[in-house]
Amino acid sequence: MKVNIYYGGRGLLEDPTLYVINKMEQVLVELQVEVTLYNIYEQKNQISMLPQTLKDADGIILATTVEWLGIGGYMNQFLDACWLYADKTSLATTYMQPVVMSTTYGEREAMVTLENAWAILGGLPCAGFCGYVEDLKEFRENAEYAHIIEKKVEALYRTISQHTKGLPTSNQAVTRSISRTAQLELSPQESEQLSRFVSDDEYVQTQKADIADLTSMFRDMMGQKQEDSTNEYINDFKIHFRGNKDFTAKYLFMIDGKTQPLFVYANGEQLECRYGREDNIDVYMKLSAAIMDNIVAGRETFQRAFSVGDMTAKGNFKTLRMLDEIFPFSD
């Protein structure tokens, strides 16, 4: 039999949980159980890798200390890593005994938190124990307390060896029906590989740098695209402009997808062309970008687009007909 102990405290000498798990380890060794202790605080940069150590364990002990509120940050991070990276199939056959010592109020709530977390992960919680310790010296010297700890460890041993089953819980039902996390569907091997990458600070920093470079590149591309979009069609009108010194007109094109209309001012042999709103317009036109593309490419004319209904216009229609003369795109 193999049992892993995961300690989620800070490793302080006066931490009563250290005394408890040391006592538990002694009893398990006497029962010929292979015991491995993981001090989570010593592996805080490798927490994402710890769930891989669960695969070969028949049972585990989650031990933590309530110093002011809850189960503590290290244990929370470990349980988060189990949710993200652990092999859920393996957890389904793994027993867990919660052990919580407190130097303040809240040991019972913390023990229930560990039980609920393991049930949601799909594991097999078994009876744990908790206690409040005001004086560590008195607690260590109390033979009755030591006897209680030994009995709890023996109960864990019997539970694992006999493969004791428990009644179904609502936590398990809720997990199956509604508890979902947005995450990739990965195989256990892929989850293990991902956890290694996450725990590799150099790899993570390299990935962040690559993402930043890509973000910068795409931002530049989008900026260039936006800049090109603001000048779209303007050069086409300027290149194909054939001014008439006796003709002056102001046109406004409302092109679908453009936030600003295209203003075209033919003033004799001078041309002003830009995006923006203007007053005193002679002809207003509305058309799609696809139709405008066809016109500036010479595949269509303004008059034909208006005749077949691809472009709507409002204003002086004689001035509208002059568009194809001063802008001969098909030439």
Indicate which CATH number applies to the domain containing 2.
Answer: 3.40.50.360
Q: Which domain holds residue 277?
A: 231-324
Contact predicate 88/117, CB 8 Å: no
- Tell me the CA end-to-end span of the chain in Å, nearest whole number: 89
Task: Give CA–CA dist 108/132, Å, rounded.
Answer: 9
The answer to whether position 239 is within a domain reads: yes
> pLDDT value at position 229?
56
Q: What is the pTM of this model?
A: 0.60
> pLDDT value at position 174?
63
Give yes or no: residues 50 and 133 share one domain: yes
The neighbouring-strand residues paired with 266 are 249, 271
The answer to whether position 290 is within a domain reads: yes
> pLDDT value at position 215?
72
Q: Provide the token pair at 240.
A: 């194909």
Give yes or no: residues 53 and 169 share one domain: yes
Task: Give CA–CA dist 300/304, Å, rounded.
Answer: 7
Query: pLDDT per residue over 226-263, tens digit each?
Result: 444 567 899 999 999 999 889 999 999 999 988 889 99
Give yes or no: residues 88 and 31 share one domain: yes
CA torsion sign for 18, 22, 27, 33 is positive
Of 93, 311, 6, the closest CA to residue 323 belongs to 311
> pLDDT value at position 226?
47
Give yes or no: residues 176 and 252 share one domain: no
In this prediction, the residues of the chain whose per-residue pLDDT falls under 70 are 171-204, 207, 216, 218-230
3-state secondary structure of 5: strand
